A and B are shown apart, each in its own frame.
Chain A
């Protein structure tokens, strides 16, 4: 599982359509992100050897239909769906298509609108059965109450993580939630209670958007002449059995899944958590980001709260998390979310993230969890 990639893979282009609630058709946003990624790479669509379209909310043929807008080149188009980790899995498929020698250039595109999707649970019996009651807000809130019980985490710590990510998004033109003032712990706590202890300003922004990335072999990347951003790890896992395993209603699998996927990624990259300059995670709720500090090895178990208090995970800190605002404020449309993390990481590693630039960033990790039990970790590094 952790063998080196058969050949080196580089991100040569990224593009996005801003995340938001404007009601623009998802495939139109996907076209914008796709063309932006092509322009960024400096290539035309016929050079793309394979396209992986990630979406949750579209119909059976949406991915192939959407590709017709980019051009009828005959390339293979594959629909990828892995819940919240859809875009990350699509990116992983593109990486492996190049690494394995199937193609020299591959593109991953994510486009979705969370507001137009059905919720979790079985359709047609809403509210009746035991499988219909568990929503992400409740599932991760239970992580939070357990964390409060075991470690003594305060609601202010959760609010501080959310406020940090809102403030990171203020400098991101692609973000869904951009406030004109500094977000405070008090304002986060004063917002509507969704699922104790999570308030609405702690919950990820559900909206629409699109993001894409183009990966290429070393030969192609060198020919294009842009900054060499290498994918040094691409790992994906489902869950393994753990003590207290929850089979029914668990939105994602045991948190051990993140620890294991990250371990695979570190091994593949030949790197460790100390080598990272910045991290993007599935911060659908702040307890996740807090727990991922520990599961990704950034700090010891139970020490995440201190990391928040010291500001080490804020922009300007030792290891900034969710530098573009994260799911909390950049937004979480579904399919594009993981690719927005790649977009942000590539901008940062190129030194092109503007006011939110992480100084000297060379290595970044992207982590996504997906419902049903998916975990995807990529590590990107400026060569």
Chain B
């Protein structure tokens, strides 16, 4: 199994049940960022690599039925949900959500999870990340 975007997240390590987002922390400004920054965008001071998540709070969401201003249809797949999730470190992450729009409300606890998106040229399974409601 391989991550589609290894610069954005890593797979769960042994003993972990969820993947982790790969972010930055700037000690001088005490701010976290995702994805990783080359330096703190507020103070221009150095940042450290950190891991973020994997559980946060739903800030906003939508369910995307027809992209490109209605000119393209997902057909039988029915579309997908996207949300913004606030992580405890103060980072807001925008990502697809698992499920349908009856499954969540703003303020719900959301956990990072993996979602299969096919295979690479060598037949290895590729996974991206999504958020799901934590029950």
Q: Which residue in A144, A198, A203, A247 is a CB contact (below 8 Å) of B35?
A: A247
Do the beta carbons of B94 and A146 come within 8 Å of each other? no
Q: Within residues 175 to 197 of chain A, which ones have a CB less than 8 A from any CB in chain B?
A: 192-197
A138, A192, A246 — most chain B CB neighbours (10 Å): A138
Do the beta carbons of A241 and B60 come within 8 Å of each other? no
A119, A128, A133, A144 — most chain B CB neighbours (10 Å): A133
**How many angstroms from the CA of A77 to the CA of B74 in the assembled complex?**
41
* A146 proximity list for chain B (CB < 8 A): 59-60, 106
Do the beta carbons of A194 and B86 come within 8 Å of each other? no
Do the beta carbons of A193 and B106 come within 8 Å of each other? no
Closest A residue to B83 by beta carbon equals: A142
**B50 at interface, CB cutoff 8 A:** no
Query: In the complex where A133-B80, A145-B62 touch, is A248 in contact with B34 (Cβ < 8 A)?
Result: yes
Do the beta carbons of A246 and B92 come within 8 Å of each other? yes
Q: Which residue in A125, A129, A135 is a CB contact (below 8 Å) of B68?
A: A135
B33, B59, B69, B90 — most chain A CB neighbours (10 Å): B69
Do the beta carbons of B34 and A141 come within 8 Å of each other? no
A191 to chain B, nearest CB (A): 9
Size category of the A interface is 35 or more
Q: Within residues 85 to 134 of chain B, which ones have a CB less than 8 A from any CB in chain A?
A: 86, 90, 92-96, 101, 106, 117-118, 126, 128-129
B contacts with A: majority SS: strand
**B66 at interface, CB cutoff 8 A:** yes
**How many angstroms from the CA of A114 to the CA of B129 in the assembled complex?**
30
**A244 at interface, CB cutoff 8 A:** yes
Do the beta carbons of B60 and A130 come within 8 Å of each other? no
**B75 at interface, CB cutoff 8 A:** no
A145 to chain B, nearest CB (A): 5
* A130 proximity list for chain B (CB < 8 A): 4-5, 8-9, 95, 128-129
A239 to chain B, nearest CB (A): 10
Do the beta carbons of A192 and B106 come within 8 Å of each other? no
Q: Which residue in B34, B37, B67, B92 is a CB contact (below 8 Å) of A137?
A: B67
B107 to chain A, nearest CB (A): 8
**How many angstroms from the CA of A229 to the CA of B116 in the assembled complex?**
57
**A134 at interface, CB cutoff 8 A:** yes
Do the beta carbons of B71 and A145 come within 8 Å of each other? no
**How many angstroms from the CA of A355 to the CA of B96 in the assembled complex?**
45
B43 to chain A, nearest CB (A): 10
Closest A residue to B96 by beta carbon equals: A133
Q: Kindly supply a per-residue 1/0 record for chain A positions 113-152, scoring 1 wherever the CB is within 8 Å of any chain B CB and 0 otherwise.
A: 0110001000001011111011111100111111001000
Do the beta carbons of A241 and B42 come within 8 Å of each other? yes
Do the beta carbons of A206 and B5 come within 8 Å of each other? no
**How many angstroms from the CA of A115 to the CA of B69 in the assembled complex?**
10
Q: Which residue in B61, B70, B96 is a CB contact (below 8 Å) of A145?
A: B61
**B1 at interface, CB cutoff 8 A:** no
Q: Which residue in B35, B71, B80, B86 is a CB contact (below 8 Å) of A244?
A: B86
* A115 proximity list for chain B (CB < 8 A): 71
The number of chain B residues with a CB under 8 A from chain A is 42
* A204 proximity list for chain B (CB < 8 A): 69
Do the beta carbons of B66 and A142 come within 8 Å of each other? no
Q: Kindly supply a per-residue 1/0 record for chain A positions 232-254, scoring 1 wherever the CB is within 8 Å of any chain B CB and 0 otherwise.
A: 00000000010111111110000
Query: In the complex where A137-B64, A137-B67, A204-B69 touch, is A244 in contact with B95 (Cβ < 8 A)?
Result: no
Q: Kindly supply a per-residue 1/0 record for chain A positions 287-311, scoring 1 wherever the CB is within 8 Å of any chain B CB and 0 otherwise.
A: 0000000000000000000000000
**A255 at interface, CB cutoff 8 A:** no
Q: Which residue in A194, A246, A250 is a CB contact (below 8 Å) of B65?
A: A194
**How many angstroms from the CA of A125 to the CA of B4 in the assembled complex?**
10
Q: Which residue in A119, A129, A246 is a CB contact (below 8 Å) of B128?
A: A129
A149, A243, A244, A247 — most chain B CB neighbours (10 Å): A247
**A200 at interface, CB cutoff 8 A:** yes
B122 to chain A, nearest CB (A): 15
Q: Kindly supply a per-residue 1/0 record for chain B positions 1-38, scoring 1 wherever the CB is within 8 Å of any chain A CB and 0 otherwise.
A: 00011001100000000000000000000010111010
Q: Kindly supply a per-residue 1/0 record for chain B positions 35-58, scoring 1 wherever the CB is within 8 Å of any chain A CB and 0 otherwise.
A: 101000110000000000000000
Given contacts A133-B96, A248-B35, 8 further A-B contacts (CB under 8 A): A142-B82, A146-B60, A193-B65, A194-B64, A206-B69, A244-B86, A244-B90, A244-B92
Q: Which 6 A-B pairs have the closest CB atoms?
A: A141-B62, A142-B60, A146-B60, A249-B94, A200-B70, A244-B92
18 contacts between A and B (CB under 8 A): A128-B128, A130-B4, A130-B8, A130-B128, A137-B66, A137-B69, A138-B67, A146-B106, A195-B62, A196-B63, A196-B101, A206-B71, A245-B92, A246-B84, A246-B93, A247-B35, A249-B95, A250-B94
